[in-house]
């Protein structure tokens, strides 16, 4: 059964970017290492067009799938599929894992569809005060903490399982 994970880095005040055009290069070396390792293991990365447009080029050695209602991009497949349909199609193409790489609209889309099995979250020792939140709509989900890795003095890598069957809140 194919597994879907969200991978994200956020500030201590819960923000993933200052604005739509802000690329994710502000994150730590450890976050980037984990991002490359996990997304290459999955072999497929899914993101929104705003996130894709912050990249200098498509992510190499991974199938790039971009959500857009209006645009097409070189080096990426465009989709408007609902999350369940997209995941089923990717399973049919032989993938065992799907990496959901943001931004906020796409993280929220997949959480609201309740198809996310795991969240890899990096907390960086920064605050932006104002900006784009990890999620942008009401979501109810119970998480189970699987691991905490302290990479530097302040950067923390968290791994959560999402338990859709057990909501205590």
Ligand X SMILES: NC(=O)c1ccc[n+]([C@@H]2O[C@H](COP(=O)([O-])OP(=O)(O)OC[C@H]3O[C@@H](n4cnc5c(N)ncnc54)[C@H](OP(=O)(O)O)[C@@H]3O)[C@@H](O)[C@H]2O)c1
Q: Contact positions toward ligand X, by CB under 6 A? A: 8-9, 16-17, 20, 22-24, 47-51, 54, 67-71, 80, 101-106, 109, 132
**By C-beta, is 48 or 167 nearer to ligand X?**
48
Tell the smallest beta-carbon distance from residue 72 to ligand X (Å): 10
Nearest partner of 36 among 101, 111, 129, judged by Cα: 101
Q: Could you say which DSSP state residue 59 is in? A: P
- For ligand X, the closer of residues 138 and 166 by Cβ is 138
Q: Which is nearer to ligand X, 156 or 167 (CB)?
A: 156
Residue 158 CB, shortest distance to ligand X, in Å, is 13
Smallest gap from Cβ 168 to ligand X, in A, equals 27
Given the complex with ligand X, which of 28 and 50 has the nearer CB atom?
50
Query: Do 66 and 12 form a contact (C-beta atoms < 8 A)?
Result: no
Sheet hosting strand 97-100, strand order edge to edge: 77-79, 63-67, 44-48, 97-100, 3-11, 118-124, 156-163, 142-150
């Amino acid at each position: 059964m194919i597994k879907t994970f969200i991978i994200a880095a956020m500030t201590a005040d819960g923000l993933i970017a200052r604005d739509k055009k802000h690329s994710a290069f502000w994150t730590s070396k450890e976050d980037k290492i984990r991002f490359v390792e996990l997304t290459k293991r999955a072999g497929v990365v899914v993101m929104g067009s705003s996130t894709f447009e912050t990249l200098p080029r498509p992510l190499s050695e991974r199938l790039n799938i971009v959500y857009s209602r209006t645009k097409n991009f070189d080096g990426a497949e465009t989709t408007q599929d609902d999350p369940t349909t997209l995941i089923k199609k990717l399973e049919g193409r032989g993938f065992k894992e799907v990496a959901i790489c943001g931004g906020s609209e796409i993280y929220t889309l997949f959480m609201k569809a309740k198809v996310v099995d795991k969240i890899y979250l990096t907390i960086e020792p920064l605050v932006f005060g104002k900006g784009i939140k990890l999620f942008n709509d009401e979501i109810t989900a119970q998480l189970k903490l699987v691991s905490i890795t302290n990479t530097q003095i302040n950067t923390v890598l968290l791994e959560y399982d999402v338990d859709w069957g057990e909501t205590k809140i």
